[in-house]
Structure 1
Amino acid sequence: MLEKMEGRYLKTFLAVWEQRSFSKAAEQLGYVQSTVTVHISLMEEALGVKLFTRLSRGVEPTEAGIKAAAYVYQWEQLGRALEAELSSDGEPAGIVRVRLLESLCVSVLPEFLQQFLKGYPRIKLRLETGFMQDIAEAVRSRQADYGIVPRDPESDDLHFTRLMEDELLCVASPELAARIERFGWKSAGEEPVLSFGSRCMYQTAAGQVLSAAGADHIRYTEFASLDLIRQTTAAGLGIAFLPAVTVKKELLTGRLASIPLDCPVKLAYGLIERKDRYSSPAGETFKNSLISSFATFPIQ
């Protein structure tokens, strides 16, 4: 089998796996689509199994393809680590792939990222945002080296390192917050909850809090970014449930007000990684720098 396998076939496999499309994989790799088709066919022939099922629009991995992906990602990781080790002259180098929440990326990490990239110019960070379930799955499937999540996923195959504690706040414009505090949580049910969508744990927590308070017919309005949620909430167009660290400035300036919750919702951000992963020097440098940054400058 190994004598029939080439590294470019594996790279093509990963592109198809991530894009779920032969044409998009070809565009990503700079190939014509027929080249992608040939690479996957040769890989399937070498392995003796079908890796993808062709659909009317795109492809889906077969059960064998899902199993193969874990090993191909390990190959890619080791290849990147070997390349970095041989070319770095002792200085950490290479690509580190990180998945994290958009709210944390915008509010907490900019200063750390600036200092880290300045201190380690040969390390390239690939940052992608997503919801907690997506982040955990990306790390689990080796599509990401590390993930930063708002709580421990308590998964047997993932290691969780606590970074900081925070609290989920219910915020609104000062006028709306005063009205809700005066008339109670039931009146909050009249206002839409501004959120990132049903897959976001903040919206789930909002529903639980409002339902427990007796609010009926909870309405949600979905926005794509943290900044839009903060702006529309400050304009009095609804309430939002957001981590305290993301609205610290708005609370200090009076643009937003926090409505006390009967049962505070605690968050514990942490770094997740596969327990069995090989950690490259670049990855270890990123991990240790991030942990040290939060230990030195805790954001509570």
Structure 2
Amino acid sequence: MIDALEGRFFLAFIALMEEKSFSRAAERLGYVQSTITTHIQQLEKIVGQKLVHRYPRGMELTEAGKVFAQYAYQYVHLIRSLDEHMHELTEPSGTIRIRAQESFFLTRMLPFIQAYTSSMPSVNVRIEHGTHQDILNGVLNHELDFGIVPQNPNRHELLFDPMLEETIVFAASEPVARQVQKAGAQVLGDQLFISNGTSCLYHTSASDVLKKAGITVKDALELPSLEMIKQYVSCGKGFALVPEIAIRNEIQTGTLQVLPFAPEMNFTHGLIAHRNREHSATAKGFQTALMDFYRTPNILSPS
């Protein structure tokens, strides 16, 4: 099998899997669509398994395709690492893929990324956002070099390096906060609970706290971004669980207030990497720079 496999087949498969469209995969790689089709057909012939189900409006991986995907990412990673190691004889270069929760990137990562990309112009840092499980899956499947998660996943396949402690608070507009102060936290049962969705670790923690407080939320709303959540809540529409640092400006202006009924909730964010992934010198340098940045006192305890 190994003699028949070519790197371009793996690249075509990954592009198709990520784009979920033969035409978009072809456009991404600069091919005509028939080339992608041919590469996938050749792959399926070589491995002796059907890898994708083709539909008029897209595709999805078969069970064999899901297994193959993990090895495809590892193959491409090894080839790119070799290429980067050769280029690193002169200067750091290549692509680093990292995934974090949107709220963490917006409130914590931007200063580091600005400084790092300015000092390392030949390194392409590809940042993605996702839920806690999205991040874990990306690292476990070798799709990513690193992930940033709000707590130690305690998986033997993963290395976890603590970065900083994050305080999470319930926030609401001034009118809603006044209702809670006047009538108690039970009034939140009639309010809309707003979050990034049930797959978000913060949402799960919020639900546990509300349950312990005897609050039964009748309605919830899932919004895709931190900024949308803040804007919606500031209009007096419900309450949300957000990182304290994310609403400091709103607290100062009186747009939002912290609801005091719940105990302080803290999460230890950390960098995760696959235990068996061989990182390039560029990736290792990125990891060192990232951890050094977050271990400085002004980052761990922002004013």
Output the TM-score relative to the length of structure 1.
0.93
Contact 2:53/2:60 (8 A) holds in 1: yes
Q: Please tell me whether the aligned partners of residues 88 and 281 of structure 2 are also in contact (alpha carbons under 8 angstroms).
A: no
SS state at 2:23 partner: helix
Which residue is 1:266 aligned to?
A: 266
1:45-103 deviation line (CA, Å, top 9, x unaligned) = 22222222334543232333222222221221122122222224342111000111111
Shift of 1:173: 1.8
Displacement of 1:178 in angstroms is 2.7
Letter in 2 for 1:219: D
Q: 2:234 matched to 1:238?
A: no
| 8 Å contact kept, 1:96–1:283 | yes
Q: What CA distance in whole angstroms lies between the structure 2 residues aligned with 1:235 and 1:46? A: 58
- Tell me, yes or no, if structure 1 residue 85 matches structure 2 residue 85: yes
Tell me the distance in 1 between the aligned counterparts of 2:177 and 2:170.
9
Alignment-derived partner of residue 40 in structure 2: 40
SS of residue in 1 equivalent to 2:224: coil
| C-alpha separation in 1, matches of 2:91 and 2:283 | 12
**Contact 2:103/2:246, CA 8 A, preserved across alignment:** yes
**Mean Cα deviation higher: 104-113 or 192-201:** 192-201
Partner of 1:133: 133
2:290 aligned residue: 290
Q: Check whether the contact 2:192–2:217 (CA below 8 A) recurs between aligned residues.
A: no
Q: Answer whether contact 2:185 2:261 (CA < 8 A) is retained.
A: no
- The 3-state SS of whatever aligns with 1:2 is coil
Identity of aligned residues (%): 35
Query: What is the CA–CA distance in structure 2 between the aligned matches of 1:203 and 1:219, rounded to whole Å?
Result: 13
1:200-211 alignment to 2 at 5 Å? 200-211=200-211
2:300 corresponds to which residue? 299
Aligned-partner Cα distance in 1 for 2:291–2:261: 30
State whether residues 93 and 281 of structure 1, in contact with CA within 8 Å, keep that contact through their aligned partners in structure 2: no
| Structure 2 residue aligned with 1:53 | 53
Helix, strand or coil: the match of 2:175? Answer: helix
SS in 1 for 2:3: helix
Using the TM superposition, give the Cα deviation of residue 216 of structure 1 relative to its aligned residue in structure 2, in angstroms. 3.1
Q: Which structure 2 residues correspond to residues 16-35 of structure 1 after superposition, within 5 A?
A: 16-35=16-35
- Distance in 1, matches of 2:261 and 2:80, equals 48
In 2, Cα distance between the equivalents of 1:262 and 1:216? 14
What are the Cα deviations for residues 242-296 of structure 1, in whole angstroms up to 9, with x where unaligned?
0112122222333221112443322111111111001111211111111111101
Contact 1:95–1:126 (CA under 8 A) maintained in structure 2: yes
Matches of 2:218 and 2:205 in 1, distance apart? 12
Gaps of 5+ in 2: none
Counterpart for residue 179 of structure 1: 179
| Aligned structure 1 segments of 4 or more residues deviating by more than 6 angstroms | none
Residue equivalent to 1:215? 215
Q: CA RMSD in A?
A: 1.8
The one-letter amino acid paired with 1:247 is I
Q: CA shift at 1:217, angstroms?
A: 4.1
What's the counterpart of residue 72 of structure 2?
Answer: 72
Give me the whole-angstrom Cα distance separating, in 2, the residues matched to 1:181 and 1:161: 40
8 A contact 1:245–1:299 mirrored in 2: no
Classify the secondary structure of the residue corresponding to 2:288.
helix
Conservation of the 8 A alpha-carbon contact between 1:207 and 1:218: no
Q: How far did 1:172 drift?
A: 1.2
User: Equivalent residue for 2:195?
Assistant: 195
CA displacement 1:175-195 (0-9 Å, x = unmatched): 321320231111111111122
Q: Secondary structure at the match of 1:82?
A: helix
Greater displacement, 70-79 / 82-91:
82-91
Equivalenced residues, count: 300
Tell me, in whole angstroms, the C-alpha distance in 1 between the residues paired with 2:71 and 2:272. Answer: 20
| Larger deviation, residues 213-222 vs 88-97 | 213-222
Report the CA distance between 1:210 and its aligned residue.
Answer: 2.2
Task: Report SS of the residue matched to 1:81.
Answer: helix
CA distance in 1, matches of 2:222, 2:45: 46
| Structure 2 CA distance for aligned equivalents of residues 237 and 105 of structure 1 | 25
Provide the secondary structure at the position in 2 that maps to 1:269: strand
Look up the SS of the partner of 1:3 in the other structure.
coil
**How many Å apart are 1:204 and its aligned residue?**
2.3
C-alpha separation between the residues in 1 aligned to 2:41 and 2:247?
51
Give the Cα separation in 1 of the matches to 2:217 and 2:120: 51
